[in-house]
Structure 1
């Protein structure tokens, strides 16, 4: 007979004699208390660095063409100040389409907020409030240095409960998440620090009180599977919004779908990816049309970089390729063609 699993109820009670006369280890309450106190001090210290900068955001949205406010819908979320002169970061889905935005800080002061920039593709937005005095603000950390298992602390206003704190760990790194616009958000942080509606846009912080992510989404019906946009991504979006009022991305003008490529075709053309982009439509007058792309083409590379699908193509078409000729490799029937396309800026 093989050995069976040992459940907790099978274990000897504390103080009972074990096999071969060994005595079970006595619990050490003092040590447990010290560990708990150290963890508590870490969390409390981190919160002291950010709590005053975490904001409650209330928005009003009016239906198009309705100036009298009838049928207006409200919404709430979270955000945080990241500069002393009143700039806040939040999620795009919290403020997108809002006609009025109100921000309430931890001490109760309320401000009207202006939308500086909104990027639905990364689900991030920047607001600004006016104040005669410097405002408390967070320190932005570096998400590129994170490790799985690190302490993660979420602060926000779930279900309208202001200044709610939950703790956990970083469960995984490098996840991807699809935004409401349909574009993929990459390098997303997964955490088990509990999030609920209203947490969106609030900070995810480390044990030093530095913001490492922007709390963004949960998986409905799951337990403790929550996601935050990495702060390194947010820093890049912030700079784009400050510089241009929007995030610059390249556009070629095709609609497509990810399609598999058979192994025989891969070997014949020397391809490394097992899929590509099947072009369903080429927009008339677009850079793709000018470059000779056709419906039915399969895009497999851009500047010799393999493209394995629609998300890979979107990721490749960043601001560095705007107004710069790029080589787009396509399969057309039994041919492999290298076409030259000059992407424009996405409107």
Structure 2
């Protein structure tokens, strides 16, 4: 069997194995979702218009679904809907690497499309629906038509290695990698949780602006992000962070942009702590920010 024949066989077998588990999202088929549990469908948050939406299985009638759990900043929601006998798709046990072949099964516009391509990169990033950066995405070349957001990206065994998010230019696509963090989030959403990231409660100026402002008042240049606003009663305010402070590190991560702060907060949950090094004027200090159990 030639390499092309092997790819053809893999694509056909994947279509047969996962087709019943893939759904179109919305009356117009604007997105794709797939079965992650009995009565549970995963899709992208940006595919929804409100808390309810129509889903259509490839071999069935349309049904009304409702949001049971969400992670809007991560661009994910879990819907509750009757999944019937549709199989639950398995997570892959091993991550993919650049050069691996992947298959995408999408049902946008109410048509099942199964295509294959290669992983061209990992540890990519994009911004979620509310502008918050999402890290650790994989990039691939499996062609995806309109309505492919939320489609499962599969390995050769038909296991999920990622969740399609959006098209890049020149035939490249991004997907949320099915890593430990994503799987934990999906499990929590299936149980009815809505995941909100912890927040410091500050507005920040990036390093270049911070240096310019420090020079303007005669302070030495330091790398960091400048606190411009502190929300009253926020975790930052309770920890003693004040307007004019220069945040230098957070959780051991050096800071030069607001996105660095968001990366330092990634993975933290209510009840966790974050150690922040800061400079006030010319004096350095360390504070511990505690995120309350009920944000």
Give the alignment's TM-score, normalised by structure 2.
0.86
Are 1:79 and 2:79 matched, yes or no? no
Q: Would the aligned equivalents of 1:152 and 1:169 in 2 still touch at CA under 8 Å?
A: yes
Match of 1:115 among 48, 67, 77: 67
Residue 335 and residue 156 in structure 1: after superposition, are their counterparts in 2 closer, same or farther (change >3 A)? Answer: same
Give structure 2 stretches of 5+ with no counterpart.
215-221
Match for residue 339 of structure 1?
287
Match of 1:215 among 164, 186, 190: 164
* Post-superposition offset of 1:128: 1.6
1:89-111 residue CA offsets vs partner (Å, 9 max, x unmatched): 1000012x425311111112322
Matched residue count:
284
Are 1:92 and 2:41 matched, yes or no? no
1:44-97 residue CA offsets vs partner (Å, 9 max, x unmatched): 1222221111101115xxxxxxxxxxxxxx6721100122x22111000012x4
Q: Would the aligned equivalents of 1:249 and 1:346 in 2 still touch at CA under 8 Å?
A: no
* Post-superposition offset of 1:173: 0.6
* Post-superposition offset of 1:297: 1.5
1:19-51 residue CA offsets vs partner (Å, 9 max, x unmatched): xxxxxxxxxxxxxx7332222112212222211
Match for residue 54 of structure 1?
22
Match for residue 285 of structure 1?
233
1:194-249 residue CA offsets vs partner (Å, 9 max, x unmatched): 22331011111111111111110112xx2112101111243121123245611253
* Post-superposition offset of 1:135: 2.5
Match for residue 228 of structure 1?
175
Moved over 6 A (4+): none
Report matched runs for 1:108-147 at 5 Å: 108-130=60-82, 133-142=84-93, 145-147=95-97
Q: Would the aligned equivalents of 1:188 and 1:227 in 2 still touch at CA under 8 Å?
A: yes
* Post-superposition offset of 1:323: 3.4
- Secondary structure in structure 2 of the residue aligned to 1:121: helix
Measured in 2, the distance between the counterparts of 1:339 and 1:202 equals: 43
Give structure 1 stretches of 5+ with no counterpart.
1-32, 60-73, 266-273
Match of 2:143 among 194, 205, 218: 194
Q: Would the aligned equivalents of 2:275 and 2:287 in 1 still touch at CA under 8 Å?
A: yes
Match of 2:207 among 259, 266, 281: 259
Are 1:106 and 2:58 matched, yes or no? yes
Structure whose alpha-carbon radius of gyration is higher: 1
Give the alignment's TM-score, normalised by structure 1.
0.74
Q: Which has the higher contact order (CA 8 A, sep 6+)?
A: 2
Q: Would the aligned equivalents of 2:207 and 2:223 in 1 still touch at CA under 8 Å?
A: yes
Measured in 1, the distance between the counterparts of 2:287 and 2:99 equals: 46
1:294-334 residue CA offsets vs partner (Å, 9 max, x unmatched): 22222112244433432232232256453345432112221
Match for residue 8 of structure 2?
40
